[in-house]
């Protein structure tokens, strides 16, 4: 009987420890992208502001980048900065939709980056 109680106590303690170990990690990163206008005429300039911070990668350098996609093409990076905020003006050269996203990247080694998070897509109508 004594062994049964001891086994039950050990099981209860190990189950509780497992629950603590399985608790979700708290990410301390944030990323936001904002366009100054949702609709612009052809030839107008759209101003984008991306801001982001993270300590998920320890002391690694973080980059805030703005990417653009026109139509169904792949994303292309317009600019990156190691500052917490990136302001960028982009001219709308033809009618249609321009899609933008921001990415928060950690520089993990020279020439190597790892994506920490990606913002929601911001779409600007050009017409």
How much is the pLDDT for 26?
55
Residue 8 confidence (pLDDT) above 90:
no
For the stretch 45-83, pLDDT in tens is: 999 999 999 888 877 889 999 999 976 789 999 999 999
* pLDDT at residue number 77: 96
The tokens 């002391």 sit on which residue? 59
- Residue 110's H or E segment, with its range, is none
31: which residues sit within 8 A by CB, 6+ positions away? 50, 51, 52, 64, 102, 103, 104, 116, 117, 118, 119
At residue 56, the pLDDT reads 81
């Amino acid at each position: 009987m004594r062994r049964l109680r001891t086994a039950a106590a050990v099981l209860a303690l190990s189950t509780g420890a497992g629950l603590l170990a399985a608790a979700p990690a708290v990410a301390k990163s944030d990323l936001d992208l904002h366009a100054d206008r949702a609709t612009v005429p052809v030839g107008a300039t759209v101003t984008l502001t991306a801001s982001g911070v993270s300590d998920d990668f320890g002391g690694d350098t973080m980059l805030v980048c703005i990417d653009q996609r026109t139509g169904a093409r792949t994303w292309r990076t317009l600019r990156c900065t190691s500052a917490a905020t990136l302001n960028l003006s982009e001219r709308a050269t033809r009618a249609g939709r321009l899609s933008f996203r921001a990415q928060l990247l950690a520089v993990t080694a020279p020439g190597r980056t790892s994506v920490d998070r990606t913002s929601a897509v911001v779409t600007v109508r050009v017409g």
